[in-house]
Structure 1
Amino acid sequence: MKLYIIRHGETPWNAEGRLQGQTDIPLNENGIRLAKITGEALKDVPFDLAISSPLKRARQTADLVLAGRKIPVLEDARIEELSFGSWEGLGCRKANFEIPSEHFQDFYQDPFHFQTAADGESIEHLCIRTKAFWDDLTSNPDWQEKTILIASHGCACRGILHNVYEDKTDFWHGKVPPNCAVNIVSVKNGKAVLEAEDRIYYDPSECVDFRTGKKVSQTGETPQAR
């Protein structure tokens, strides 16, 4: 089994620095462009099927990557993004910060202790549902020799990959995956191997630091984009 796990393209709320969570925001023009670039780069990958989060931004990304190919796309709510509950839509950059918490940076710095809105979801719960997805995916006898595209979200992608990483204490593995970043995983006899991590197929200077809205090339920092 070969898995290509992709984070969705950019959305208006990504560009504006607003928490999306499970709010169903579509891609913006730039997000569509990034997904098309990624699809062109992956055009020779022999995908057998795709599995997408039902949220528009993930499904659009899957459809754009697979454009022109008759490949079935299944949807699975277990790989939807982390729910931020009533915080969704609020600004979370320094310039537009609206989150009613002094500890929001724990989301990046100490995610397993991050306290979201009372009606939101914990990282621990996200890991439980994405593990259930992973277990079903990798144990499916009909898919053992398949090449599968998985379209999900920044936090949910890391939840899926939590089943691959050896260090279970490091949730983010250095950073939140940039828009349209692809992680390639091979699974054989129950053993998963990460073959490529956060690979992007567009100019790296276009990666945005979500916390500031600036290009990474301007900040010198890794992108923290949701």
Structure 2
Amino acid sequence: MSSTATTSIILIRHGETAWNAERRLQGHIDIGLNERGLAQARALGQALAQTPLDAIIASDLQRAWQTAAAIGTGRALAVQQDGALRERCYGGFEGLLYADIEAAYPPQFAAWQARDIDAVMPAGERVAESFRQFYARAVAAILGWAARHPGATIAIVAHGGVLECAYRAARGLALDTPRDFPVLNASINRFSVTDGVLAVQGWGEVDHLAPATLDELP
């Protein structure tokens, strides 16, 4: 296949975790899916069951690969893991509730909320990334997988921040503008990549997550 062939990417945010539900910042902390998140993953797998896929790739954090595993059910595809698809590293903010971050680190919290893309949070167990650094990593990882699979259809399961970066890259949005678009757990988001350029084909599909659907799942 030509290297200029268009790659189709189904980009997915992992299902819900307990920390998502209580607004506790995860970053690189390895939190698994809660019961709702597991149900979302099963619904996602059913929604994509008839979609041919050439590869399934996930962040190496368990909330992502647990979600990806549901997509792989019934397929002869192993989920490939890639640490470059991890959520942004928030350093000392990780593991804290948003309200506690604001109380403990007022200037740094304010810079984060003001979208200072070069601001770096205090270090914790890990050294934090600026948004500019994270954006470069996330977009390069997505484009790298597209380049490995020219003309194919691949699923990538990652994190809210990674989806935000992809959307900004595809829409040409400045990094310091507000995130005024939804980034939903277990949503289906469709992109294409041609000649290394991302384009959005569909965003925020969540019909498969209707309460009635989730309630009917085993």
Aligned residues: 203
Distance 1:200 1:84 in 2: 28
Between 98-107 and 26-35, report the one with greater CA deviation: 98-107
Note the C-alpha offset of 1:60: 0.3
Structure 1 residue matching 2:87: 3-state secondary structure: coil
> Do structure 1's residue 100 and structure 2's residue 108 form an aligned pair?
no
For the 8 Å contact 1:37–1:201, the answer to whether it is kept is no
**Runs ≥4 in structure 1, deviation > 6 angstroms?**
none
Match of 2:72 in 1: 66
Instruction: Map 1:107-126 to 2 at 5 A.
Output: 107-110=112-115, 112-118=117-123, 119-126=127-134
Taking structure 1 as the reference length, the TM-score comes to: 0.78
Kindly indicate whether the alpha-carbon contact (under 8 Å) linking 1:104 and 1:114 is maintained by their aligned counterparts in 2: no
Q: 1:30 to 1:6 in 2, by over 3 A?
A: same
Contact 2:56/2:154, CA 8 A, preserved across alignment: yes
- Give the 5 Å matches for 1:4-153: 4-93=10-99, 99-104=104-109, 106-110=111-115, 112-118=117-123, 119-140=127-148, 143-153=149-159
Give structure 1 stretches of 5+ with no counterpart: 206-226
% identical aligned pairs: 30
Q: Which runs of 5+ in 2 are unaligned?
A: 1-6, 212-218
**Hey, what's the Cα distance between the residues in 1 that align with 2:210 and 2:113?**
21
Match of 1:179 among 185, 188, 200: 185
**Cα separation, 2, equivalents of 1:64 and 1:172:** 32
- The answer to which structure has the higher helix fraction is 2
Superposition CA RMSD, Å: 2.6
* Conserved 8 A contact 1:127-1:162: no
TM-aligned CA distance change 1:18 to 1:136, over 3 Å: same
TM (norm. structure 2) is 0.81
